[in-house]
A and B are shown apart, each in its own frame.
Chain A
Amino acid sequence: MAGNITFDQPEPTLGGKLLALPWVFILMVVTLGLIGGAALYSAANGSFEPWAKPHLVRFGMSVAVMIVMALVDIRFWFRLSYPAYAVTLALLAGVEVAGKVGAFGAQRWINLGFVQIQPSELMKIALVMALARYFHALIPEDTQRLRTLVPPVLMILAPTAFVLLQPNLGTAIMLTLAGAAMLFVGGARLWLFGAVAAVGAAALPIAWRHMHGYQKRRVMTFLDPSSDPLGAGYHITQSRIALGSGGLFGKGFLNGTQSHLNFLPEKQTDFIFPLLAEEWGLWGGVALLALFALVSFYGVGVGLRSRSQYGRMLAIGLSVNLFLYVFINVAMVMGLIPVVGVPLPLISYGGTSMLAVMMGFGLLISVLIHRDAKITRRHPLGD
C-alpha cells in the first residue's frame, strides 16, 4: 500500500504540520462556536444552563478532535474512506433496529452506551469521503461512461433511503444534493443531471403518497402558513415575526421578545437563527451568513490547491455540505422552503451535528496540510 502513496517533497514533520495549521480558518470556526454559545445563553434567558455550557464544552472537545484529525495524514483518511462509509451505513441500518424515538417521533439516535449519536450526521461526512475516494481513481473518460456512475449513485441512494425511512427529510435532501454536487464537480455529464431532475419530478407524486402525515403537513404549511396558524404554521409564522421584528439593528442581546417569551418554538435547535436575527438584526444575520460563506469558500480554495483528486473532491464536498446545512436551515426559518429539520451547524444545540461538522473541518485542514501528498490512482472497479 505504502508504495502507492508518495510525496514529491520530504514528509512534513509533526512540528511542521502544527506550523502549517490555518489559524485564521480555525479562528473563524471558533468564532462560530462561540456565537452558538452566546445564542444558547440567550435562548436560556441569560443562563449557561441548560444549553450554552454543554455546547461550549462539546465545542472545545470538538476543536481538539478537529486538530487531531487535521494532523493525521491524508492517506490514512483516503484508506479509511470506504470502511468509514460501510460502518456508518451499517449504523444507519442499525437505527432502524436499535433506534430510539427522538425529536418529532423520528428515529435518529443510536445509543452506544456512553454517547448517543446520529449516524445520519456522520453519514454526511462518510458519503463525501467515499465519493471522493471513488472519483480519485477515475480518469476523465471514465466519468463519461454511464457504467462508472452507477456505483456512486448507489452510494448516495443507499444512505438516503435509510434516512428517509427514519424519516429525516432534511438529511436525505442534504445527502442527495451534496452527492449530486460531487458528481457534478467530478465530471459527470450534464445531461445526466437533467435526466435525474426529470425522473425526480415524475417521481414527486409517488413520493408524496409515501410521505408521512407530518411531512405532507409541513409542505402544505409552507405553501400557505396561514392555513394552520396554531398548528404546523405556528413555527414558521413566529419565526418570521422574530426575524422581521429584529429590524436593521436588532433588539439587543438578551432582549429578543419572541424567543424569551417562548413564542419562538425550537429556538435552541432548528430555529436558533431567528433568535440571533431578532437580537442582532439584519447586520448580525448577514455577518453570520458571511462568516459561514467565508468558511465554505475557504474550503473550496483548499480543494483547488490540493494535488490529489481525493483531496480536491473531499474539500469541495465538505464545503458544499456546510453550505447546504446553512442554506437549508436559514431558508427554512425564513419560510423560503418547507421546514425539514436541519440544524444550523455550530450554532444549534446538538451533539452529533457539531461533532460531525468539526470532523469535516478536521478533514479539510488535513487536505490543506497534506495538499502536496501524492495518492496513487487505482481504478475503483479493480485493476
Chain B
Amino acid sequence: MPAERGDMERYRLLTRRTLVVGGLQAGMISLLVGRMYYLQVVESRRYQMLADDNRISMRLIAPSRGLIVDRAGIVMANNDQNFRALIVSEQARDVERTLGVLAGIIQLAPSEVERIRHDMARHRRFVPVTVRENLTWEQVSMIEVNAPDLPGVIIDVGEVRSYPFADQASHLIGYVGAVNEDELDDDNPVLALPGFKIGKAGVEKYSDDALRGTAGTSEMEVNANGRTIRELSRESGERGKKVTLTIDSELQTAAHKRLLQERSAAAVIMDAQTGAIYALASAPGYDSNIFSKGIPADLWKDLLDDETMPLINKTIGGQYPPGSTFKLVVALAGLESGAIGLDHSVTCNGTFALGDHTFYCDAYKNGGHGTLNLTEGIAKSCDVYFYDVGNRTGIDNIARVANLLGLGLRTGLDVPGEHAGTVPSTAWKKAHTGEPWYSGETISCAIGQGQVAATPLQIATMVARLASGGRAVVPHVTKEIAGIETAPTDWPRIDFKPEHVEAVLNGMKAATDHGTGKDVQIKEPGMQMAGKTGTAQVHQYTLAEHDKGRIGHVEGDLPWKLKNHAWFVGYAPEDDPRYVCAVLVEHAGDFGAKAAGPVARDLLLLTQQRDPARLTVAAQLPTKPA
C-alpha cells in the first residue's frame, strides 16, 4: 500500500483522473463502433454497390449477323472468319523486336508500325492492340509456326461479312460498314462496340434490325488498373435472324451477266401475280466484299467519277422518261375515263397538229401508219394515235391511272434508295411552277416524254399490275424473316374494267407478234412473250435535227450521255401471265426493240425455264422464332 508522504493522496488523484481518461476512451471506442455500424450496416448496401461498380465491368459481346439467302437457300451474305493479329505489349518482352519479326511475315508498312506504336502508347500494357485484320490462312499459319519468336502476339478470330455474289448483287444485297457518329444510339450500346458493323445499303440496310441480332453480355471482374481478373458471368446474345429473299440467285447472276454486255443497264424480273422480285440487276456494280472491309478512298473516287454510275441502283434509283412504254398507261386511261371506246381508231399521216404546233410520228417519213385501232396503235407504237388519245383523255385522267399502276410514287420496295419518278398533272404543275397546264404538254406526256419519269422497277410493276388482270401487286424482295413469311401473296383488285386491261394486253401481244417487238419473240411453245418497246429521248432536238429525221434513230455521232435510253417491258407466258421483265439500257442510242428487247427476251426465256415461282427451299429446317 502507498506509504510515502502524500502518496495516498497522489494515488487517489491518479485513480480519479485515470477513470476520467478511461471514460473518455470508452466514449471514443463507442464512436468508432457507431461509425462502423453506420458504414457496415446502415449504409452497407450503398457501399456494396460501389464496391461492385469498382470491380465489375460489363462487356458486350457482338451478335453474329443473320445470313441473307435466296429463295432456294443459297447464301448471298455470309459471315467469314476474320483472323486478326493482336499484340500485347506486356507479354512481348521486346516490342520492337517482335514487330520486326512480324513485319517479315505479314509485310507491315512503316505507317502501320507507326499506328501500332501509337495505339500501344495510348492503352495500358495489357490491352491487346490490333496489328492487322483479315489475315490469310497462310499468314495465320506462318505466325503460329513462328510463335516462339513472337511473344505477345495473339491470333484472334472475329467475323467479317462476305458476299459470294460480289458485284452481281451488290445493289440488291448492299453491304455493311462501321457505325457513323450520327448513327450511334444511346439505347443500343452494341453500336458503340469497336468493329461493329451495320447495314449501309440494300437488304443489309433495310432489314438491319432483323439481321443485327441481340448483343450478349459478359460480366468481367477487373482490378484497380482495369486488368481483367476473371469472367463472372456470360449471357450469350442472339444471332441475327436469317432473311430469305424472293430472289433466284442464279437468275440474278444471269441477268447481271447479260446486262454487262451493255455499257450501263438495269433489269427487273418479277412475279406478275405475287410481286416477288426474282432478279434486280443494275450494271455495272461494285464488289460488296471490298465495301464491307472499308472502302479504299481511290476506289470510292473512281466509282463516283464513273459516268455509268456503278454506285446507283438503277432499277430503283434511276429515273428515266418511260418513252413508249407509257402508252400502255395512256391507252388504259383513255378507256377508263371514257374518252375513247374499245373501237377507237385514228388515222396517222405522220403528224399531229395542236394549235400552231405540229407533233411528229416515227412513221412520218413513210407517210404515216394509216388508220389504226387500239391494238395496232400499241403494237406499232404509233405516236399520232397516242397524241390523239392523250389529247382526248387529258393529263389528270392519265395521271390517275398512272398512279394506280404504280408510277409517280414509290412502289414501297423493301430495298432502300427508291425514287418516286414523276407523273405530271395540272395540280402537280401548279404546285411546282405555279403555272397552268398547257394542252401541248399532254401531247408530250402521251408518248412518255416531257415531265414523265419512271424507274425500271415502276415500269415492271406497271406491267405486273396489267398482266395480273389489274391487281395492286407490290414488288418485294423479302420472302421470309427467320422462316416467317413476310409478304402477302394475294393483292387487291384495282378498279379497272377487265375488258380495258385485256385490250391493253392484246396490244402488247400484237407488238411482239407483228409490231415493234416482232424481232424479239420467244418461240418456245407455251412461253411466248408479250411486250412493249420504248425509246426515251434524252437530247432535246433542234428543229433542224428534226427535219433530218433523227428522232429515235441511230445517233452514232452524239456523246454517250446524250443518246436515247432503250426500254423493253414484257411478260410471259402471254396466255397465262406469270413473269414480268423490264429492261432499261442507258443511252443505248438505239430503239428499245433493238437494244433492250433481246435482253428482256433472253431473261424471260431463262426465267420461264427455271420457273422460280415453283422453286422453293428444299428440305428447309424449321427456324427457331425470335
Q: Which of B4-51 contact A (CB under 8 A)?
A: 4-7, 9-11, 13-15, 17-18, 20-22, 25, 28-29, 31-33, 35-37, 39-41, 43-44, 46-48, 50-51
Interface size class of A (residues with CB under 8 A): 35 or more
For A258, give its contact among B9, B22, B33, B51 (CB under 8 Å): B51
The size of the chain B interface, using a CB distance under 8 A, is 45
Flag whether B224 is at the interface (Cβ < 8 A): yes
Complex-state Cα separation, A242 to B48, whole angstroms: 8
Complex-state Cα separation, A245 to B20, whole angstroms: 35
In contact, B36 and A285 (Cβ under 8 angstroms):
yes
In contact, B54 and A247 (Cβ under 8 angstroms):
no
Which residues of B sit under 8 angstroms from A323, Cβ to Cβ? Answer: 25, 28
Which residues of B sit under 8 angstroms from A261, Cβ to Cβ? Answer: 54-55, 221-224, 229
Q: A185-B21, A257-B51 are known contacts. Are A309 and B39 too (CB-CB below 8 A)?
A: no
Q: A243-B39, A320-B21 are known contacts. Are A330 and B32 too (CB-CB below 8 A)?
A: yes
In contact, A244 and B46 (Cβ under 8 angstroms):
yes
Flag whether A140 is at the interface (Cβ < 8 A): yes
Q: Which of B42-67 contact A (CB under 8 A)?
A: 43-44, 46-48, 50-52, 54-55
In contact, B39 and A289 (Cβ under 8 angstroms):
no
Which residues of B sit under 8 angstroms from A242, Cβ to Cβ? Answer: 51
In contact, B13 and A187 (Cβ under 8 angstroms):
yes
A145 to chain B, nearest CB (A): 14
For A241, give its contact among B11, B31, B41, B50 (CB under 8 Å): B50
- Produce 1/0 per residue, A223-257, CB < 8 A to B: 00000000000000010111111111000000001
A236 to chain B, nearest CB (A): 12
Which residues of B sit under 8 angstroms from A316, Cβ to Cβ? Answer: 14, 18, 21
Q: A258-B54, A261-B221, A262-B223 are known contacts. Are A240 and B47 too (CB-CB below 8 A)?
A: yes
Complex-state Cα separation, A246 to B51, whole angstroms: 9
For B44, give its contact among A185, A244, A262, A309 (CB under 8 Å): A244
For A244, give its contact among B5, B18, B47 (CB under 8 Å): B47
Flag whether A327 is at the interface (Cβ < 8 A): yes
Q: A139-B6, A248-B41, A331-B32 are known contacts. Are A241 and B17 too (CB-CB below 8 A)?
A: no
In contact, B44 and A245 (Cβ under 8 angstroms):
yes
Residue of B nearest to A286 (CB): B33
For B14, give its contact among A141, A187, A263 (CB under 8 Å): A187
Q: A241-B50, A316-B18, A327-B28 are known contacts. Are A282 and B36 too (CB-CB below 8 A)?
A: yes
In contact, B224 and A262 (Cβ under 8 angstroms):
yes
Flag whether A336 is at the interface (Cβ < 8 A): yes
For A257, give its contact among B7, B14, B43, B54 (CB under 8 Å): B54
In contact, B41 and A312 (Cβ under 8 angstroms):
no
Which residues of A sit under 8 angstroms from B4, Cβ to Cβ? Answer: 377
Q: A139-B5, A289-B29, A327-B32 are known contacts. Are A244 and B17 too (CB-CB below 8 A)?
A: no
In contact, B43 and A296 (Cβ under 8 angstroms):
no
Flag whether B622 is at the interface (Cβ < 8 A): no
Q: Which 5 A-B pairs have the closest CB atoms?
A: A244-B47, A245-B51, A261-B223, A262-B224, A282-B40
Q: A261-B223, A285-B40, A289-B33 are in contact. List 9 more A-B contacts (CB 8 A).
A: A139-B5, A244-B40, A257-B52, A261-B55, A281-B40, A300-B18, A307-B2, A320-B21, A327-B25
